[in-house]
């Protein structure tokens, strides 16, 4: 028997039934209806990372097949196997075999399907049509728009949404009770802040922070996540727009050297905090514009540190 205590928490606390999935009530109701009818269409599960797309597919298969799941459910990760050979080989071989489950079609689940090449997707379209009597396809994607239109037109699109603060607090409480952890309110708020609605990220961050002892603090959460406290990012922005470049640069040093944050990490937090600054709407717009231009240069390959200092220099000049 599997010892769940040795599993990573993300697997240990993964729901195995549809009724255990949190934050996606409307989608869960649809999937339960499919289980009851024992019939369902091809589907695309779209939404941000860590909101339950893979979990929903596995839970659906568990409820449909029970102990026969291994013979009726194929899970592949398209980001690892993204070429046409995978579609013509493993997926086609699975689709064309007759199901061993009486009266039920099989499920081919393609995780991160938006990473499939265009050629692979076009090959998959024909496989979906040819073996529709024996196999249904479920595609999981962060960006449904990256899946070709012919496949989209053959699927029902279910959009998953990020979990809200209350749902994540309930989950943290459940894990804390299961692992006998002490987590204060500030640490919970830090977990929610760094995870941004991603339950997988929250779980892994919490497990990393709880390695040393069972008392989890706000400081440990930010250190594990390599994130700064919101007030430190706000301080850097406020010094910048007030014209104090030296202090703003010192705060940037703290973010990049002490926390080990990359340029894009700093920009993402600046973007999140820009709208919370006590400044005029015009100044907020100027800040977001500078963040966007800096992000473009960094993505194109420019040096993180130089571009970030150029950004805070530009912000310092706004008032002048």
Q: Could you tell me if 137 and 186 lie in one domain?
A: no
Q: Could you tell me if 95 and 199 lie in one domain?
A: no
Q: Could you tell me if 152 and 194 lie in one domain?
A: no
- Checking if the pLDDT of 80 tops 70, the result is no
* pLDDT per residue as tens digits for the range 14-25: 888 999 998 899
Q: Comparing 115 with 297, which gets the higher pLDDT? A: 297
User: Residue 294 belongs to a domain with what CATH number?
Assistant: 1.20.272.10
Separation CA 320–CA 316 (nearest Å): 8
Q: What is the pLDDT of residue 16?
A: 87
Least confident among 38-42, 259-263, 281-285: 259-263
Q: Could you tell me if 42 and 146 lie in one domain?
A: yes
Q: What is the pLDDT of residue 3?
A: 45
Separation CA 101–CA 114 (nearest Å): 29
Q: Could you tell me if 37 and 148 lie in one domain?
A: yes
Q: Could you tell me if 152 and 174 lie in one domain?
A: no
Q: What is the 3-state secondary structure (H, E, C) of 6-25?
A: HCCHHHHCCCCCHHHCCCCH
User: Residue 25 belongs to a domain with what CATH number?
Assistant: 3.40.50.300
* pLDDT per residue as tens digits for the range 192-202: 999 888 898 99
Q: Could you tell me if 282 and 308 lie in one domain?
A: yes
Least confident among 108-122, 176-190, 282-296: 108-122
CB 264 within 8 A of CB 308: no
Tally of structural domains, the chain? 3
Q: Could you tell me if 298 and 210 lie in one domain?
A: no
Range of the domain at 195: 165-225
The pair of structure tokens assigned to 171 is 């989950």
Q: Could you tell me if 12 and 131 lie in one domain?
A: yes
pLDDT grade for 1, boundaries at 50, 70 and 90:
very low
Q: Which DSSP string do the residues of 182-208 spell out, in sequence order?
A: EE-HHHHHHHHHHHTT-HHHHHHHHHH
Mean pLDDT in the chain? 87
Q: Could you tell me if 145 and 169 lie in one domain?
A: no
* pLDDT per residue as tens digits for the range 116-136: 888 888 888 888 888 888 899
User: Residue 176 belongs to a domain with what CATH number?
Assistant: 1.10.8.60
- Checking if the pLDDT of 209 tops 50, the result is yes
In 10 A of CB 195, how many CB atoms?
24
DSSP-assigned beta bridge partners for residue 110: 76, 139
Separation CA 6–CA 50 (nearest Å): 22
In degrees, rounded to 5, the angle at the alpha carbon of residue 255 between the alpha carbons of residues 250 and 260 is 135
Q: Could you tell me if 112 and 252 lie in one domain?
A: no
Q: Could you tell me if 119 and 197 lie in one domain?
A: no
């Amino acid at each position: 028997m599997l010892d769940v205590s040795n599993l990573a928490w993300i697997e240990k606390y993964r729901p195995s039934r549809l009724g255990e999935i949190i934050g996606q009530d409307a989608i869960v109701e649809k999937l339960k209806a499919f289980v009851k009818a024992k019939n369902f269409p091809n589907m695309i599960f779209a939404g941000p990372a860590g909101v339950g797309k893979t979990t929903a597919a596995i839970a659906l298969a568990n409820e449909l097949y029970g102990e026969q799941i291994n013979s009726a459910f194929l899970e592949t990760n398209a980001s690892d196997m993204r070429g046409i050979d995978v579609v013509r080989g493993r997926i086609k071989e699975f689709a064309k075999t007759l199901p061993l489950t009486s009266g039920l079609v099989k499920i081919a689940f393609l995780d991160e399907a938006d990473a499939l090449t265009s050629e692979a997707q076009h090959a998959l379209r024909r496989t979906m049509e040819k073996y529709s009597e024996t196999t249904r396809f479920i595609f999981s994607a962060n960006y449904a728009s990256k899946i070709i239109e012919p496949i989209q037109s053959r699927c029902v699109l279910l959009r998953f949404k990020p979990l809200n603060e209350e749902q994540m607090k309930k989950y943290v409480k459940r894990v804390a009770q299961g692992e006998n952890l002490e987590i204060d309110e500030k640490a919970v708020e830090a977990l929610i802040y760094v995870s941004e609605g991603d339950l997988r990220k929250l779980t892994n961050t919490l497990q990393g922070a709880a390695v040393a002892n069972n008392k989890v603090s706000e400081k440990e959460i930010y250190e594990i996540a390599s994130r700064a406290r919101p007030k430190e990012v706000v301080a850097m922005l406020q010094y910048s727009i007030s014209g104090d470049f030296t202090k703003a640069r010192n705060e940037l040093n703290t973010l990049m050297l002490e926390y080990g944050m990359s340029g894009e990490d700093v920009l993402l937090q600046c973007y999140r905090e820009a709208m919370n600054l006590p400044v005029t709407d015009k100044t907020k717009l100027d800040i977001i514009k500078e963040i966007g231009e800096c992000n473009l240069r960094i993505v194109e390959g420019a040096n993180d540190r130089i571009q970030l200092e150029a950004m805070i220099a530009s912000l310092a000049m706004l008032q002048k």
